[in-house]
Amino acid sequence: MTATIQSIRDDFAFLDEWEDRYRYVIELGEALPPYPDSARDDAHKVQGCVSQVWLLTDRAEGVDPVINFQGDSDAHIVRGLVAIMLALFSGRRASEIITTDAEAVLRSLGLDEHLTPQRANGLRSMIKRIKRDAEAALQPA
């Protein structure tokens, strides 16, 4: 994925209207790499989301592994929110993921004020799932 969390912040700052920001979020979702059909199952589904959201976790070996995520959703805006979370968390060490304040990032983007309660709850469920996977990666085998 080419968008970084900093480039997303910069683009959000550039866009004044929320309608433009929503369009941008949808574009971020459209730019996600294809999600494997084999991982569209209950094991990869994020519970607590009104829309269908799937998350595939791939972790490297080691005590504090780098974790990469792939994700998808059946809803356009939610797919864009998945893209933002992947930009924030994917490719980072498990310890970094656990200490990242995703809520602060959402506040800095203004998303905390502009999402429906259902979408905000779904986003929190996705964050919990990502952090839970990072915590599991830090546990001794």
- The CATH number for 44's domain is 3.90.1010.10
If one compares 55 and 48, the residue with the highest pLDDT of the two is 55
CA separation for the pair 23, 54 (Å, rounded) = 22
- Of the candidate ranges 27-36, 97-106, 114-123, the one whose mean pLDDT is the lowest: 114-123
What is the band of 44 on the pLDDT scale with cuts at 50, 70, 90?
Answer: very high
Q: What is the pLDDT of residue 141?
A: 66
| Number of domains into which the chain is organized | 1
- Determine which one of 25, 28, 49, 75 is catalytic: 49
Boundaries of domain holding 130: 5-138
Distance CA 96, CA 116 (A): 28
- Which residue is associated with the tokens 């480039």? 7
Active site residue 66: no
Chain mean position to CA 118: 16
